[in-house]
Amino acid sequence: MSTTPNTPESATHTTSGTNDSKVRPGSASSTPSAAGKHPAPPCTLVIFGAGGDLTKRLLMPALYNLSVDGLLDAGMKIIGVNHGQRETAAWRDDLKKSLQQFAADKASTFHTAQFDEKAWDWIAQRLEYMAGEFETDDTFTNLKQRIDAKPGSNVIFYLAVSARFFKPISEHLGKAGLLKEGDGGGFRRLVIEKPFGTDLASARDLNAHILGYAKESQIYRIDHFLGKDTVQSILAVRFANALFEPLWRREYLDHVQITASETIGVEGRGKFYEQTGAFRDMVPNHLFQLLGMVAMEPPNSFDAEAVRDKKADLFDAIQPLTRADVVFGQYETGPAGPGYREEPDVAADSHTETYAAARVFVDNWRWAGVPFYLRTGKRMAARRTEIAVHLKTVPFRLFRDTAVDTLTPNVLTLRIDPTHGTSFDFNVKVPGPMMQIGPVQSAFNYSDFFAEGANVGYETLLYDCMLGDETLFQRADSIETSWAAVENVLHPKDGPLPVHGYPAGNAGPEESDQLLARDGRTWRPLSPAREKK
């Protein structure tokens, strides 16, 4: 996670709609880069799964944006490996067509007013397609011949493939000598997408297997949630402001709510979802990562290991979840459309959860007794990713003889998606002769202060991987402690957890509300007027 000194001008400066201030990459030499940043070193990026959705929707848009910002070196080369014969020109044309479609889609995170042909051409000139099976020796022999093997050369292997290929690709890379770092100073790095295992045993097995061919320092376990600027800004809000950090503890905080809700369904991914479910897909990785950012102890620096050590300590302190801490749900036919069981490739009697809520306790000095409520789901009332930090209520005695009957809880909300910013709910006196208290909100939107460009969340992660900055990538111990915390839920000894229905387009099952109600709390509404069940 690269850091740049801030200046007073940075909060008010905006750029014109034409983006004339952007420096375009050149084709023969290093080019000026985004203010305060340096281009990544030259490297070869090998993408396994070059024809897949991840490459089209996220990796290529991210590389394009890095190209626009001048953060890629002129010596970069991109090799795409995939099943089936294909000409490089056809692959390039297919990628460009996809990029242009995403750029024109206002709902896309890659939406931009103007597609930069020069930036794309810079990328396109460096693309090379290679046909090959992921589990045969010939593929890796051919790949080795195409990679610049001179001393000091840098290579990143990106596994944008199904999890079943993580082991064989890593093994073949290792046996072919492609992960060996020479004495010339060049690096070899392996980027692995989630899911990193499906439980504790499989995560340990995958870690052990990959570590048989690569060092821990070479492995970059990626979670795209951590690539979002607003997720990274959690650390800035906490540690760069004297107002918040003194209150960030059990003496002042009542509880924390972390929400990642979607309005879409499984979108044709029925086969994947039937095997995974919302809990495995989101809780031990995405939501725990947000929990780690909001609850970790202050590191001594933003050095990668300093930050990852504190997150590892936090995950290790999570009390193992029990069935009493978790609620599963599945969307049924409702205002937003058909139910999950009507989706393609989903069993007619499926009990796979599309919603999961969990109550998490962190057993350390700072957080003892403070519950963290996590929820995620599909086909819900609103699309929202946010962290709501609820302060404890003040004593009511002062207002007992006034017209005040309720006080609005003080809540600091960190909005991550789809809007970016923060808000704070608090109480003030209503104008007039009587002591009446009214709720108000102070809000900050990133778009009011900063020029926000198209960003799919992978730009920072790819850039940091090229630089060798592991801050935003997960370490083996953190992966395993996260899975250990949910082991009792994934493999319950007293039978599977019940899955409760909720109408598509709703806020989740009633049992999720009851999870908080037992503690005397309620979920923050997903929309101003919460849908009735």
Do 387 and 438 fall into the same domain? Answer: yes
Which residue has better confidence, 249 or 153? 249
Q: What is the pLDDT of residue 33?
A: 54
Query: Would you say residue 15 lies in a domain?
Result: no
Q: Using the 3D structure, point to which of 195, 225, 255 is the last residue of a domain.
A: 225
Q: What average pLDDT does this structure show over 27-47?
A: 70
Gap between the Cα atoms of 254 and 408, Å rounded:
14
Residue 2 lies in a domain: no
Is residue 525 one of the residues assigned to a domain?
no
Considering the domain architecture, whether residues 221 and 236 belong to the same structural domain is answered as no
Which residues are bridge partners to 327 per DSSP? 357
| 200 and 273 assigned to the same domain | no
One of 224, 255, 286, 420 is an active-site residue; which one? 286
How far is residue 249's CA from residue 505's CA, in Å, rounded to a whole number?
Answer: 35
- Domain C-terminal end among 174, 208, 225: 225
Residue 193 and residue 242 in one domain: no
HSE value, Cβ hemisphere, 13 Å, CA-based, for 334: 25
Residue 147: which CATH number? 3.40.50.720
Instruction: DSSP letter for 364, please.
Output: S
Within-domain flag for 14:
no
Say if 75 falls within a structural domain: yes
**Average per-residue pLDDT for the chain:** 88
pLDDT at residue 4 is higher than 50:
no
- Ranking 124-138, 358-372, 455-469, 501-515 by mean pLDDT, the lowest is 455-469
**Is it the case that residue 5 has pLDDT exceeding 60?**
no
Residue type, 493: K
Residue 129, domain member (yes or no): yes
Q: Do 366 and 486 reside in the same domain of the chain?
A: yes
Q: Is the pLDDT of residue 16 over 50?
A: no
- Where does the pLDDT of residue 397 fall: very low under 50, low under 70, confident under 90, or very high at 90 and above? low
Q: Annotated catalytic, 286?
A: yes
Within this chain, do residues 147 and 250 fall inside the same structural domain, yes or no? no
Round to whole Å and give the CA distance between 38 and 467.
10
In a domain, 379, yes or no: yes
Same domain, 411 and 505: yes
Q: Considering 164, 196, 225, which residue would you say is the last residue of a domain?
A: 225
Judged against a pLDDT cut of 90, whether residue 480 lies above it is answered with yes
β partners of residue 159:
48, 192
**Mean local confidence (pLDDT), 97-118:** 84
Give the domain CATH number at 446: 3.30.360.10
Residue 471 counted as domain residue: yes
Q: How many domains does the chain have?
A: 2
For residues 171 and 264, state if they share a domain. Answer: no
In a shared domain, residues 176 and 279? no
Who contacts 396 (Cβ-Cβ below 8 Å, separation ≥6)? Answer: 407
Please tell me the distance from the alpha carbon of residue 127 to that of residue 44, in angstroms, as a whole number.
10
Claim to verify: residue 81 and residue 69 sit in the same structural domain: yes
State which residues form the domain around 466: 228-517
Q: Report percent pLDDT > 70 for the chain.
A: 88
State residue 409's pLDDT score. Answer: 86
Same domain, 253 and 290: yes
Based on the domain organization, do 182 and 214 belong to the same domain? yes
Least confident piece of the model among 271-285, 452-466, 517-531: 517-531
